[in-house]
Amino acid sequence: MDALTAKQALEKGKATRHEFEGLSYIRLHDSVARLPKGSVRLDTGRVIPGYPSIGRIQALATGLEKQYGDEPFWAEEKIDGFNIRIVAHEGRLLAFSRGGFLCPFSTDRVPELLDPALFDEHPGLIACAELAGPENPYMEGSPPHVAHDVALFVFDLMRDGQPGFIAQAEKQGLAERYRLPVARVFGRYRAQDQQALTELILSLDRAGCEGLVFKGEVQGARSKYVTARSNINDIALVSDALLDLPPEYFTNRMMRLALFEAEHRGNDPDLERELGRALLQGLGRSVQRSREVGRVGHRYRCRFRHQRNLDHFVAHLEATGGPQHVKILYQPSRQQDGYWVLEFERVLPRMTGTLAHALSGGAQFD
Amino acid sequence: MDALTAKQALEKGKATRHEFEGLSYIRLHDSVARLPKGSVRLDTGRVIPGYPSIGRIQALATGLEKQYGDEPFWAEEKIDGFNIRIVAHEGRLLAFSRGGFLCPFSTDRVPELLDPALFDEHPGLIACAELAGPENPYMEGSPPHVAHDVALFVFDLMRDGQPGFIAQAEKQGLAERYRLPVARVFGRYRAQDQQALTELILSLDRAGCEGLVFKGEVQGARSKYVTARSNINDIALVSDALLDLPPEYFTNRMMRLALFEAEHRGNDPDLERELGRALLQGLGRSVQRSREVGRVGHRYRCRFRHQRNLDHFVAHLEATGGPQHVKILYQPSRQQDGYWVLEFERVLPRMTGTLAHALSGGAQFD
């Protein structure tokens, strides 16, 4: 994306210009010139391609067969976090979200989660990673093996000006050399290794992990596949927001759950009980919150190294969420292990309104 | 609705003209001149008002208090069927659907379910009733106390040219005199009779019944309230159509279930298990059907007294459902107890397509 293409994308409304502490960048919110949406162009002209969307297979055996045929592929752990791309820029690390926003939270925390020496010796690298854990400001879920705060899982490397990703062997070499925190790589398989792959996905299911990302060795094609438990966890965490999320959030996960059950677990009363509990306990929480405080919301807590990043984050939150839908729960203070702690709540307006109406005895015409 | 109003409604696209065996009628699909949608005007000029929509309360105690205050109200059983209005017209009974279509199925069966003498002596009556049972062509559910075929439950009477419904006492008098099949009337209550009403709804819940309709004694205002079990049954019967129904079908019922649980049953693992089973077993059925026959659909079976009504019904089905989405399973024959039996399947195109794609290994980008 040269300067002219960027200018045209801005004019066509396919890109937006943003500022962050003197850095000017543009962010594509539509695909432009073969760059996917979420791509970023820094003021130096450097381009950070968007992370491509990965096709999801819903039937493991036929999906791998169709996707890879005889081609070998690597199976890596899919991490339940949010996708960032990390680059070094004028002496500091910057982290961009999937959508191409500079993320003040990730940018604040990445320097302590990744050795910057990687970029000193390879300045053109782009590290694609998942930031995951219970103390993140975006999502409710977190991997079972991240007990507190957040952790970083690098899963791909790109190099400036080169299409696609760095090959698996070179990526693993760099990861070892710089002790990068990486997503677990379970091995190299082919579609016919059904038994081993089934055992692998069932062990991840039992462990409460999200699933697998497959990466073809020759073509590099990526696909993903998630566990039954991941679908149930996702539903359990946000069923108190049933009316505020797109219905497909729930229906897609139920479809995946049924397909996983049919392929791997047969008719399973445990899954039925867990799905019902995931839905009804979350809805029960929302009824209780509505009765107690007249409001339904999701609470988040996260920690920053620098107060100015916290301030940037809060400004971003209020700009994108609307001040009426975000409640900062208390003024942050440098109180915990040298971090600035932020706690806030995203109010769920439809659950709040619907339950207030229903509990006060209001009638519904449907 | 005089002839001029009807003409204007047709011109404005708020009404449609239909024919049925020489009877010409127009049907309002929008409200016109204080008549709700579903109202019908026969070629004789007689008007059959649409059955008004009834507000649903979602919290029993506050809902009754808000709706009725100190006014007494009657509590009747809400029947899980479909709403029809029955009139006598030129020597025969006609039954119109909620939407105002002449229903060939109901029109065929009503004469054996209701004593026509009612209309001989009261030609201006309109009987509002629910037709319910496992052998109906429209819906999956049926009341637990209708074990086979269909049964009729009259719950309201209207009189030509008079607004509103005939009062409860007069309705009950007519019902006794003509031995009308009626919905059960449980008694006369006030909002403060909380304990009795709670016991009543919990006994209906245990029995698998749908719920209650309340009718104010003075103002006549109607409202409805359903059991936990009714919501679960509704979900269980059609969760194999998860992607083909509006998502609100499921989310509204889950909300009601959570509100019922919070008000009457507390945290209840039985409800969780039943909800999970309702969802996952239905989805499992759809996966199995997709594997076995490559198609997901709902099967219906119903019986007609006269073959020509069956033919009318099939024509209506194919006209409204689209021939590609309705499969007549075999040619009907007068085979059972003197009835013409129809079996057909409504194909669920989104479940069919989504599962075929997923099971063949196709990738989803979400």
Domain boundaries, chain B: 3-226, 229-292, 297-359
Q: Which two tokens stand for residue A112?
A: 């302590």
Sole residue written with tokens 């637990």 = B144
| Best residue in A252, A260, A279, A292 for a mutation probing chain B (most B CBs within 10 Å) | A279
Q: Does A162 touch chain B (CB under 8 A)?
A: no
Do residue B363 and residue A63 have CB atoms under 8 angstroms apart?
yes
Alpha-carbon distance B73 to B220, whole Å?
8
Which residues in chain A have their CB less than 8 angstroms from residue B62's CB? Answer: 359-361
pLDDT value at A42 more than 80: yes
Q: Which two tokens stand for residue A98?
A: 């999937």
CATH number of the domain at A51-226, out of 3.90.1200.10, 3.40.50.10490, 3.30.470.30, 3.40.50.300?
3.30.470.30
- CATH 3.40.50.970 correct for B229-292: no
Nearest Cα neighbor of A137 from A278, A340, A353, A349 is A340
The amino acid at residue A257 is: L
CA distance A68 to chain B (A): 11
Nearest Cα neighbor of B74 from B175, B207, B160, B143 is B175
Report the pLDDT value the prediction gives residue B323, as an integer from 0 to 100: 62
Report the pLDDT value the prediction gives residue A323, as an integer from 0 to 100: 62
pLDDT > 70 fraction of chain A, expressed in percent and rounded: 98
CA distance A359 to chain B (A): 6
Task: Give the ipTM of the model, two decimals please.
Answer: 0.94
Q: Kindly give, in sequence order, each residue whose CB lies less than 8 Å from that of residue A185, ignoring residues fewer than 6 positions away.
A: A74, A75, A76, A77, A168, A172
Residue B9 has φ and ψ, to the nearest 5°, of -60, -40
Report pLDDT digits (tens) over B249-258. Answer: 999 999 999 9
Q: Does A296 touch chain B (CB under 8 A)?
A: no
CA distance B10 to chain A (A): 26
Rounded to 10 degrees, what is the CA torsion of A326, A329, A331, A334? Answer: -110
| Best residue in B60, B275, B289 for a mutation probing chain A (most A CBs within 10 Å) | B275
Q: Which two tokens stand for residue B212?
A: 């209650």
Query: What is the CATH topology of the domain spanning A297-359?
Result: Alpha-Beta Plaits (3.30.70)
Report the pLDDT value the prediction gives residue A330, as an integer from 0 to 100: 67
CATH number of the domain at A229-293, out of 3.40.50.850, 1.10.10.10, 3.40.50.1970, 1.20.58.2250?
1.20.58.2250
Report the pLDDT value the prediction gives residue A305, as an integer from 0 to 100: 95
Q: What's chain A's Rg over C-alpha atoms?
A: 22
Which chain B residue shows the shortest CA-CA distance from A269? B277
Beta bridge partners, A42, equal A25
Report the pLDDT value the prediction gives residue A11, as an integer from 0 to 100: 95
Query: What is the dihedral sign for C-alpha B343, B26, B132, B262?
Result: positive
Which residues in chain B have their CB less than 8 angstroms from residue A281's CB? Answer: 267, 272
Report the pLDDT value the prediction gives residue A328, as an integer from 0 to 100: 79
How close are the terminal C-alpha atoms of chain A, in Å?
Answer: 50
Report pLDDT digits (tens) over A224-267. Answer: 999 999 999 999 999 999 999 999 999 999 999 999 999 998 88
Q: In this complex, which of B58, B67, B366 lies closest to A56 when CB atoms are compared? A: B366
Q: In this complex, which of B61, B259, B280 lies closest to A275 when CB atoms are compared? A: B280
CA distance A60 to chain B (A): 7
CA distance B278 to chain A (A): 8
How many C-alpha atoms does A155 have within 13 Å on its Cβ side? Answer: 27
Nearest Cα neighbor of A296 from A238, A253, A234, A233 is A238
Do residue B273 and residue A271 have CB atoms under 8 angstroms apart?
no
Report the pLDDT value the prediction gives residue A317, as an integer from 0 to 100: 86
Instruction: Tally C-beta pairs within 8 A across A and B.
Output: 183
Alpha-carbon distance B89 to B73, whole Å?
33
Report pLDDT digits (tens) over A89-128. Answer: 999 999 999 999 999 999 999 999 999 999 999 999 999 9
Sole residue written with tokens 């040219």 = B161
| Best residue in A62, A354, A359, A360 for a mutation probing chain B (most B CBs within 10 Å) | A359
Which residues in chain A have their CB less than 8 angstroms from residue B271's CB? Answer: 276, 280
What is the CATH code of the structural domain delimited by A1-50?
3.10.450.740
DSSP, collapsed to helix, strand or coil, labels residue A257 as helix
Report the pLDDT value the prediction gives residue A44, as an integer from 0 to 100: 93
How close are the terminal C-alpha atoms of chain B, in Å?
Answer: 50
Q: Does A203 touch chain B (CB under 8 A)?
A: no
- Residues 328-357, chain A, touching B (beta carbon < 8 A): 354-355
Which chain A residue shows the shortest CA-CA distance from B249? A366
Which residues in chain B have their CB less than 8 angstroms from residue A250's CB? Answer: 247, 250-251
Question: Do the domains spanning B3-226 and B297-359 agree at the CATH topology level?
Answer: no
CATH number of the domain at B3-226, out of 3.40.50.410, 3.40.1790.10, 3.30.429.10, 3.30.470.30?
3.30.470.30
DSSP, collapsed to helix, strand or coil, labels residue B118 as helix
How many C-alpha atoms does B33 have within 13 Å on its Cβ side? Answer: 18
- Residue pair A345/A326 in contact by the 8 Å Cβ criterion: yes
Average pLDDT of the segment spanning A120-146: 96
User: ∠ CA B315-B317-B318 to the nearest 5 degrees?
Assistant: 65
Which residues in chain B have their CB less than 8 angstroms from residue A273's CB? Answer: 269, 272-273, 276
Q: In this complex, which of B66, B254, B288 lies closest to A242 when CB atoms are compared? A: B254
Do residue A255 and residue B361 have CB atoms under 8 angstroms apart?
no
Q: In tens digits, what is the pLDDT along chain B, a chain of 366 residues?
A: 888 999 999 999 999 999 999 999 999 999 998 899 999 999 999 999 999 999 999 999 999 999 999 999 999 999 999 999 999 999 999 999 999 999 999 999 999 999 999 999 999 999 999 999 999 999 999 999 999 999 999 999 999 989 899 999 999 999 999 999 999 999 999 999 999 999 999 999 999 999 999 999 988 899 999 999 999 999 999 999 999 999 999 999 999 999 999 999 888 999 999 999 999 999 999 999 999 999 999 999 999 999 999 999 998 888 877 666 778 776 666 677 889 999 999 999 999 999 999 999 999 998
- Residues 2-61, chain B, touching A (beta carbon < 8 A): 53, 55-59, 61
Nearest Cα neighbor of B72 from B176, B183, B168, B212 is B168
Q: Does B283 touch chain A (CB under 8 A)?
A: yes
Q: Does B238 touch chain A (CB under 8 A)?
A: no
Which residues in chain A have their CB less than 8 angstroms from residue B275's CB? Answer: 275-276, 279-280
Across chain A, mean pLDDT equals 94
Q: Does A77 touch chain B (CB under 8 A)?
A: no
Nearest Cα neighbor of A360 from B65, B176, B231, B354 is B65
Residue B275 has φ and ψ, to the nearest 5°, of -65, -45
Q: Kindly give, in sequence order, each residue whose CB lies less than 8 Å from that of residue B328, ignoring residues fewer than 6 positions away.
A: B314, B342, B343, B344
Banded model confidence at residue A333, pLDDT cuts 50, 70, 90: low
